[in-house]
Homo-oligomer: A and B are copies of this chain.
Amino acid sequence: MKECVVARPRDRIVGTARSLFHKLGFRGVGVDTIAEEAGTNKMTLYRHFDSKDDLIVECLRSAAMEARKFWLDIEAKHPNDRRAQLDAWIGLAAQALASDCRGCDLTNAAVELTDTDHPAHRVIEEFKAEHRNWLATVCAGAGVVRAELLASTLTTLLEGARVARQSAARQSPSVDFAAMAAAVVESFRRKPSR
């Protein structure tokens, strides 16, 4: 019953494409290579996806879905404890930074796909807004002042740290997200001095 455990061609194509796009960039790999690496062929790829752009969009949707599972896991692990959820989010973000030097696929796609009409941009924008809004809800429940501004600051800081992982030296202080995030959160917990 080997067929039961082997991924379907469509899933293999998306999995392989995600892995190759992550490593080589969205413009750095073509459909021929993706089809070959996925153990299939271009004709099968085009049966499932209208174009490379269509495949890119599907890969980004898949990456977004994975990230959402992270947030659900955080909520499930720390039910009704927004402060612990905030700490867990910072911890997981720092872990992701430490283990992967290529950053967020959705952000990388936004930089690489310079045509702002590319359908990927809508998926990216929606996901980024969703992420920030989820964190704002967490911050609001964690007893910090100016929860909206803190959520924007933390997500922007994470964007910066993930991109700095590619633009700065690995040991650069700019990638020490945990220290920066902790300092920012701590300062938002205190009342403004005026």
Residue A36 lies at the interface, judged by CB distance under 8 Å to chain B:
no
How far apart are the CA atoms of A180 and B193 in the complex, in Å? 17
| CB under 8 Å from chain B, chain A span 103-128 | 103, 106-108, 110-112, 114, 116, 124-125, 128
Interface-forming stretch among A4-12, A38-46, A88-96, A181-189? A181-189
B174 with A155: CB separation less than 8 A: yes
Within 8 A of B (CB), among A145-192: 146, 148-149, 151-153, 155-161, 163-164, 166-169, 172-177, 179-180, 183-184, 186-188, 190, 192
Is A111 a contact of B163 with CB atoms below 8 Å?
A: yes
Q: Of the candidates B148, B159, B188, which one forms a contact with A173 in the assembled complex, judged by CB atoms under 8 Å apart? A: B148
Q: A160's contact among B110, B124, B159, B193, by CB below 8 Å, is which?
A: B159
User: In chain B, what residue has the closest Cβ to A133?
Assistant: B173
Nearest chain-B residue to A156 (Cβ)? B160
Cross-chain contact A149 with B179 (CB below 8 angstroms):
yes
For window 27-63 of A, CB contacts with B under 8 Å fall at 27-28
CB of A23 within 8 Å of the partner chain = yes
| A168 shortest CB reach to chain B, Å | 5
Q: Chain B residues with Cβ under 8 A from A102's Cβ? A: 114
- For A15, the chain B residues whose CB sits under 8 A away are none
Q: Which size class do A's interface residues fall under?
A: 35 or more
**A25 part of interface (Cβ distance < 8 Å):** yes
Q: How far is the CB of A150 from chain B (nearest CB, A)?
A: 8
Assess whether B25 is in contact with A114, with CB atoms less than 8 Å apart: yes
Contacts of A65 in B (CB 8 A): none
Q: Contacts of A151 on B, CB cut-off 8 Å?
A: 173
CB of A24 within 8 A of CB of B132, answer no
Which of A27, A101, A112, A151 is packed against the most chain B CB atoms within 10 Å?
A112
